[in-house]
Structure 1
Amino acid sequence: MSAKNLFLPAAFVRAPLQNGVGRYVCQLQRITFKFCKSHGGSRGLRDFIEQNLVEFAKENPGVVVYMKPRRHRSPVIVGEYLNGDRVWMSVHNKTHDEITKWVEVMRTQQGDVSSSRLRKYQYTDHPSIQGPWTPFTFKIPELNTAQLPDPKFGANNRLPQSATEELRLMFEKQKLNVKEEELKVAE
């Protein structure tokens, strides 16, 4: 086991700003493209800027786009998120298609999740050695190969009759007995 996580800040896994409850809020706030106008390693980023940048900006009006030309420097994409995270990615010698995919990844993620030690809301001194419970934990193994619907596995076949159902049947029998007695008296 590594002690690397001791030096990372602790954080909980949660949806920022309850994202997905109500409306979607894009977590990416700013994206900066740093590139060289003449360096060969910036070729893919320059192609992305020429072909896709205007379309990206139109599709994502909530994201501020900056371009920063720098002489004789390696190309970099920097994304800044709502939670204050900054993700820095070197795109040296990457193709136009790879950069398009990485920009989409930066747009859809919520910041640098790997830079914090994840914590849980629950804690126990004696964790279960049996593993987590799933809905399939106590299912009958024969269900895996059965052709459904099968009356053998029907829910009503295994359950006893409820008290309400028994009372309803008793009432029906009582009504039939009363009608039979009335017919006998009428004859």
Structure 2
Amino acid sequence: MSNSNIFLKSGFVRAPLQNGVGRYVCQLQRFVLKFCKSHGGSRGMRDFIEQDLVEFAKHNPSVVVYLKPRRHRSPVVVAEYLNGDRVWMSMHDKSHSEITKWIEVLRTQQGDIAATRLRKYQYTDHPSIQGPWTPFTFKDPELNVAELPDPKFGANNRLPMSATEMLKIMFEKQKLEGKPEEKTEQ
């Protein structure tokens, strides 16, 4: 482990339960919009609340939105996700359009995964220097430049003949050799 990860929180990779396979589940659980009613740095946040907040709430019924007015403080957005992550973002002196874009970014992500030291369930003292295995690890490099479909790279051309196929061929040979003898007997 490198020293750059010492102060990051650690966690395992948690897939969001095959999100998007059956239906999409928005990972954003709650927004808290903190702003000042009179401070100049909160102007963009106030504009967003007046113009776009109702539409945002209509389009995202699964997201709970809280408004928290505070005196003489900078505007802040706190996003809470289903996996327990909380993302805090300052919106001081940001315009209405910038705040709209940042809220859309927070809505579509799964939490603050970038600030997490990812851990694995497996551990080895001797990690591979060759890299991870992929389906193309042991493939023939001629496949990269071949015009497909090519009979040279067909699935059955590389396999040896199975015992069943050998028995079928032997049976056909015996059958062909046995037919002329049957005709002569009649």
Give the structure-1-normalised TM-score.
Answer: 0.83
Would you say how many aligned residue pairs link Structure 1 and Structure 2?
Answer: 185
Give the percent of matched residue pairs that are identical in Structure 1 and Structure 2.
Answer: 77
Q: Distance in 2 between matches of 1:180 and 1:98?
A: 90
Matching residue of 1:183:
183
Q: Structure 1, residues 125-174: CA drift from partner, whole Å, max 9, x if none?
A: 11111111111222222221111111222222222211111112222222
Q: Does 1:171 align with 2:174?
A: no
Q: Distance in 1 between matches of 2:61 and 2:154?
A: 54
Q: Distance in 2 between matches of 1:19 and 1:152?
A: 39
RMSD: 2.5
- Please identify which structure carries the higher helix content: 1
Change (3 A) 1:166 1:97: farther
Matching residue of 1:30:
30
Unpaired runs of 5+ residues, structure 2, are: none
User: Offset of 1:24 from its aligned partner?
Assistant: 4.4
Change (3 A) 1:71 1:55: same
Matching residue of 2:75:
75
Is the partner of 2:67 in helix, strand or coil? strand
Matching residue of 1:99:
99
Written as runs of structure 1 = structure 2, the 5 A alignment for 1:15-164 is 15-16=15-16, 18=17, 20=19, 24-164=24-164
User: Offset of 1:115 from its aligned partner?
Assistant: 4.0
Q: Structure 1, residues 61-120: CA drift from partner, whole Å, max 9, x if none?
A: 222111123344322111122333321101223333332232222223333224432211
Unpaired runs of 5+ residues, structure 1, are: none
User: Offset of 1:2 from its aligned partner?
Assistant: 5.3
Give the structure-2-normalised TM-score.
Answer: 0.83
The amino acid across from 1:50 in the alignment is: E
Change (3 A) 1:184 1:97: farther
Q: Distance in 1 between matches of 2:57 and 2:81?
A: 16
The amino acid across from 1:83 in the alignment is: N
Is the partner of 1:156 in helix, strand or coil? coil
> Do the aligned partners of 1:19 and 1:25 also contact (CA within 8 Å) in 2?
no
User: Offset of 1:178 from its aligned partner?
Assistant: 3.0
Q: Distance in 2 between matches of 1:46 and 1:99?
A: 10
